[in-house]
C-alpha cells in the first residue's frame, strides 16, 4: 500500500511528517525540476485536467496539496473563478506559492494556508470544485483524504484529481521504468540536493492504486460518475467525480 512507502524509510516519523519535510527540502527547486524532468508535459496535463471543470463554471475552488500553486494558477487562467484557496502541509512549498501570488498580483483571488486533506478546516458542502494535482499519492491515509474532500464539496460540485499512473503497454512501460528508476533519481538528487525525494517518487507511483482501483475508492467515499482519463500512454491520469 502507498501508506507504507515513505520518503525517508529509516526515519520513525509518520508518512505525513516525512512528506512535509521532503517538500520543505525541495521547495526551492520543485518548479524547475517539475518542468525539466517532465520535459514540460506537466503543463499540458494541468491545462487538460482543469478543462474538466469548464462546464460547471465553479466560483469557489479548493486546491488541495497546492504546493507552489501551479494547478491553481492554471485554474485561475482557464476558469476565472471568484476565489481559490490552496492548502498544503508543507510551509516551504506555501512560501514559494505566496511569492508567486504576490508577483502575479493575484492576492484578491488566490490565498494559501496550511491544511491537511485528512482534516480540512472548512464546513461541509462549501466548495463548487476541488482540484488536486500530484497530491493524493502522498496522502498518509488516502481514503480519509478523499472522504474529507467529498465532505467539503457542495452537492453537485466536481472534483478533478491529476496523478501519476503506470503505463502498461510495451515498450512504453519499459522506457518509463528506466526513466523513472534511473534518470529521474539521478537528476533529482543533483538539482534538489535531497537524496531520497526522487527515489520516493517512482516508488510511490508504483505502490499507488491507479485506474480502476482508484475509482473504486472514489466510489466508496461517495463520489458519483467517477471516471478516469489516461494521459500520455498512461503516465498520468485525470480522475473526476461528482457529489
228-235: Cβ within 8 A, 24+ apart: 229/52, 230/165, 231/45, 231/48, 231/165, 232/41, 232/45, 233/167, 233/169, 233/172, 233/176, 234/165, 234/166, 234/167, 234/168, 234/169, 234/172, 235/41, 235/164, 235/165, 235/167, 235/172, 235/176
DSSP letters, 202-222, are HHHHHHS--THHHHHHHHHHT
Q: Which stretch binds ligand SAM (CB under 6 A): 51-59, 66-74, 99-107, 151-159?
A: 66-74
Cα torsion through 132, 135, 141, 143, rounded to 10 = 30
Q: Which is nearer to ligand SAM, 88 or 210 (CB)?
A: 88
The nearest distance, CB 112 to ligand SAM, in angstroms, is: 11
Burial profile 219-236: b = 16 or more Cβ within 10 angstroms, e = fewer: eebebeebebeebbebbb
2 binds ligand SAM (CB under 6 A): no
Q: 3-class SS at 184?
A: helix
Pick the binder of ligand SAM from 18, 29, 73, 88 (CB under 6 A). 88
- Can residue 21 be called a binding residue for ligand SAM (CB under 6 A)? no
Binding residues for S-adenosyl-L-methionine: 68, 88, 116-117
Q: Which of 73, 139, 208, 223 binds ligand SAM (CB under 6 A)?
A: 139
Q: Which of 89, 159, 184, 215 binds ligand SAM (CB under 6 A)?
A: 89
Residue 20 or 76: the one with the smaller Cβ distance to ligand SAM is: 20
Select the residue interacting with ligand SAM from 7, 58, 67, 234 (CB under 6 A): 67
Sole window of 105-113, 138-146, 152-160, 187-195 interacting with ligand SAM (rule: CB under 6 A): 138-146
Contacts with ligand SAM, residue ranges (CB under 6 A): 16, 19-20, 23, 64-68, 70-71, 87-90, 93, 116-118, 133-135, 138-139, 145
Amino acid at each position: 500500500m502507498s501508506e507504507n512507502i515513505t520518503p525517508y524509510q529509516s526515519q520513525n516519523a509518520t508518512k505525513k511528517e516525512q512528506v512535509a519535510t521532503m517538500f520543505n527540502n525541495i521547495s526551492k527547486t520543485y518548479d524547475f525540476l517539475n518542468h525539466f524532468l517532465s520535459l514540460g508535459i506537466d503543463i499540458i496535463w494541468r491545462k487538460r485536467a482543469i478543462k474538466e471543470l469548464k462546464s460547471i463554471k465553479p466560483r469557489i475552488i479548493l486546491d488541495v496539496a497546492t504546493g507552489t500553486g501551479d494547478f491553481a494558477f492554471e485554474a485561475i487562467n482557464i476558469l476565472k473563478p471568484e476565489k481559490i484557496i490552496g492548502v498544503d502541509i508543507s510551509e516551504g512549498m506555501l512560501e514559494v506559492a505566496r511569492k508567486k501570488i504576490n508577483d502575479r498580483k493575484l492576492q484578491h483571488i488566490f490565498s494559501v494556508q496550511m491544511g491537511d486533506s485528512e482534516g480540512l478546516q472548512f464546513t461541509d458542502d462549501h466548495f463548487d470544485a476541488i482540484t488536486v494535482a500530484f497530491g493524493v499519492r502522498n496522502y498518509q491515509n488516502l481514503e480519509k483524504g478523499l472522504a474529507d474532500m467529498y465532505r467539503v464539496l457542495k452537492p453537485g460540485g466536481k472534483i478533478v484529481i491529476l496523478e501519476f499512473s503506470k503505463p502498461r503497454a510495451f515498450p512504453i512501460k519499459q522506457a518509463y521504468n528506466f526513466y523513472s528508476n534511473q534518470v529521474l533519481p539521478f537528476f533529482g538528487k543533483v538539482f534538489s540536493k535531497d537524496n531520497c525525494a526522487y527515489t520516493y517518487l517512482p516508488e510511490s507511483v508504483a505502490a499507488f492504486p491507479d485506474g480502476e482501483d482508484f475509482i473504486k475508492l472514489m466510489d466508496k467515499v461517495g463520489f458519483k460518475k467517477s471516471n478516469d482519463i489516461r494521459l500520455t500512454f498512461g503516465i498520468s491520469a485525470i480522475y473526476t467525480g461528482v457529489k
